Structure 1
Amino acid sequence: MSDESAADSGEETDPQSAIDAQGERRRAELDDRIFDHNAGDEQEGIPFVGAGPGDPRLLTVAGMELLQEADLVVHAGSLVNSELLDEYCDHAKTVTSIGKDLEELIPLMRDAHREGRNVVRLHSGDPAIYGAALEQMDALEHEGVSTYIVPGVTSAFAASASLRTQLTLNEVSNHVAFTRPQGKTLTEEDDHISEFVEMGDVTTCIYLGTHAVADTMDRLIEDGHDEDIPVAVVYHASWPDEDMMIGTIGTIGEILEEAGHRASAMVIIGDAVTGAGYERSFLYDGWANRGDDGAEDEESTADETTETTTQ
C-alpha cells in the first residue's frame, strides 16, 4: 500500500473517514509489508502489543522489550495488570484508553509519534481477539503513522493452562471456537454458541460473556443440549485473584451467581474442560517413531505421516 495519506497533504481527517478509506485500500491491494515482515520482526511505527492474560511473566519477550523502550504507553486500563505496568512501564508516561474514543486516541498517539517518542499501544490478551485494534491501526496508517502487531497470550490459553488440560484432545475435541454471546453488540441471529455445542467435538471459548452465562446456559438447555456437558468459568485467568468455577451447563449459572463475578472471565464449554475420555494421539504412538526394522510401506502411510508431523 502507498504511504500517501491525508497527513502528508496537511488535510486532517476524522477516524471514521480514515477507517473507511483504509478499508477501500484493503479491498484494492495487499499491504507489501505482509510479505516483508513476520510477527517477530522489529518494525517501524507504533506496535500494538498483546499484554497477555494478566500475569506479567506471560508477556512475550518482544512485548517486554518494546515496553522497556517506550516513552508513552497507551494501555487498556484495568484489563492490564497494574503489576505489569509497574514492572515494565515505570519509566514511561502511561495513559489509559478506557473512556477515550478514537477521536481522542488517534491524535494522542499520532502526535507523540511525530514528536519522536516511542509509543506502544498495549492491549489485553492478544490484539487479534476482540481487541478492536485494526480500526486504530487503520486510522493511524491513514495519518501516515506505520503500525504493526506483536501477538500476546489470549485468556483462553491461560484458562486451559490453569485447568491443566488442552482445548483440543484426540477423540474429544477436534475444533476450537472463539465466540461471544448475544447482547448489545451481537444479535440473536449471530449467536452460534448452541450450534458449536451441538457439533459435539468443539471446545467453545466465550469471551466478553461473564454477565450472560446464566442466560446462555438457559438457551442451551432450551435447545435440548445435555445439561451434564462440562463448563468452566475462569475469572482473571493467571491473575493473583484467579477464581476457578467448574460445573455443567445445568449448574454453572448458579455457581457463578454465588461467586458474584460479572466480568473478566473466560467461559469454556465442552468435554475438554475435564480432559476425560481422550484417546492416545498418533504423534507419540509406536508407528510414528518406527525405525527401519518393520517399517511400513512409505507410500501407503505418507498422508498419515504428514498429518502427524504437522500437529
Structure 2
Amino acid sequence: MGETTETDDNEATDDGDPQSAIDAQGDRRREELDDRVFDHSAGDEQAGIPFVGAGPGDPRLLTVAGRELLEESDLVVHAGSLVNSELLEAYCDHAELVNSVGKDLEELIPLMRDAYEEGRNVVRLHSGDPAIYGAALEQMDALEHEGVPTYFVPGVTSAFAASATLRTQLTLNEVANHVAFTRPQGKTLSAEEDHISDFVEMGDVTTCIYLGTHAVRDTMDRLLEDGHDPETPVGVIYHASWPDEDVIVGSIGDIADRIEEAGYRASALVVIGDAVTGAGYERSYLYGDWANRGSSGSSAENTSEPEASDD
C-alpha cells in the first residue's frame, strides 16, 4: 500500500489511495464514455464485481439476476442491517459474508480486489438500488482504477415498494406528473441544496424522501413555514416490504407527531403528495377513446394499442 505504480495509460498513481483513484476515474469520464456503455445492457452477464441491488427488503423482490449472482458468490460484502437477514440466509448461506458498515474505502477496496484477483466470485450487495443514494460509484471507480472491472445490477428501490404497499401509483393523471427522489438537509446536504419545499410547491410532484426519518419534524416545520397546505397527504412506510413493515398516513400538519409516537428515527420512506391516497386522479388517455381514435373496422393496424404510458 502507498507505493507508486503505472496504470494502463502510463500515468503514475498512488497505489491504494481511493481518493486519487476516484479523481483519476472522474477525469477519464470527462474525456470519454466507457466503451462498455455501448457493449452491455442492464441484465447482461459481465466480467468483474457486480454491485447488486438487494431490493427494499423482501427476498422475493430481489431480481433474478441478483439472485443468480448471489447463489454463485464466494464473498458477499453487504450493507449490514440495511439488507434483510432473511435474504442473506436464503441466497448467501454458502458464501463468506462481510458487513461493510464501519469500514472505509481504504479497507473495502483491497478486500474486494484481493478476493477477485484470487479468482473468487465477489458480490457487493447494496440495499434497494445502488444507483439511489448508494455511494456505489466511488467504490467502483476505486476498483476499476486498480484493474478490477465492475458493473451495476439494478434493484427495486424502496419508493417502489412503498407505492405498492400504499396501493397507489407515484404518477397519476391530473394528480402527479413527476416524481422526485430526494433527501433532507443535514450533514450531506446544505440548506440551499434542500429542494423538498420546491418540489411540494409544484403541486403535481410526488416527493419521495430517503434518509430523512429522523428529520420528519424539521422537514414538515419548514414546509409549514413556507406556506404549504397542512392537509397535504404524507405517507411514511417503515421497512417497506420487511416482515415488520409499518404504514403511517397523515398530513404535513400532523405526520411528525405520528412518527414520534411510533418511535421511528430511521429506515422509513417518506412520501408527500396527493398520490399517497390516490384520490382525485382522472382516467388516462391510454385506455380511453383517444386510444381508438381513427379506428374503422377491425383491422389490426387501427386497433393496436398506443405506446405504453405511466399515466
Equivalent residues in 2 for 1:1-311, closer than 5 Å: 4=8, 12-289=15-292, 292-293=295-296, 308-311=307-310
Q: Which amino acid aligns with 1:262?
A: R
Q: Which amino acid aligns with 1:199?
A: M
Counterpart contact for 1:48–1:122, Cα < 8 Å: yes
Counterpart contact for 2:16–2:106, Cα < 8 Å: no
- Between the aligned partners of 1:58 and 1:289, the Cα distance in structure 2 is 36
- Between the aligned partners of 1:197 and 1:150, the Cα distance in structure 2 is 31
Q: Tell me by how many angstroms 1:309 deviates.
A: 3.7
Q: Which runs of 4+ in 1 moved over 6 A?
A: 8-11
Q: Relative to 1, partners in 2 of residues 1:276 and 1:129: Cα closer, same or farther, differing over 3 Å?
A: same
How many residue pairs are counted as aligned between the two chains?
299
- Between the aligned partners of 1:5 and 1:238, the Cα distance in structure 2 is 46
TM-score, normalising length: structure 1: 0.92
Listed one character per residue, the Cα deviations across residues 39-61 of structure 1 (whole Å, up to 9, x for unaligned) are 01000000000000000000000
- Between the aligned partners of 1:49 and 1:214, the Cα distance in structure 2 is 33
- Between the aligned partners of 1:133 and 1:153, the Cα distance in structure 2 is 16
Counterpart contact for 2:286–2:309, Cα < 8 Å: no
Listed one character per residue, the Cα deviations across residues 70-100 of structure 1 (whole Å, up to 9, x for unaligned) are 0000000000000000000000000000000
TM-score, normalising length: structure 2: 0.92
Q: Tell me by how many angstroms 1:184 deviates.
A: 1.1
Secondary structure (helix, strand or coil) at the match of 1:94 reads strand
Q: Tell me by how many angstroms 1:310 deviates.
A: 4.8
Q: Relative to 1, partners in 2 of residues 1:29 and 1:282: Cα closer, same or farther, differing over 3 Å?
A: same
Listed one character per residue, the Cα deviations across residues 241-297 of structure 1 (whole Å, up to 9, x for unaligned) are 0010000000000000000010000000000000000000001113303573289xx
- Between the aligned partners of 1:10 and 1:182, the Cα distance in structure 2 is 35
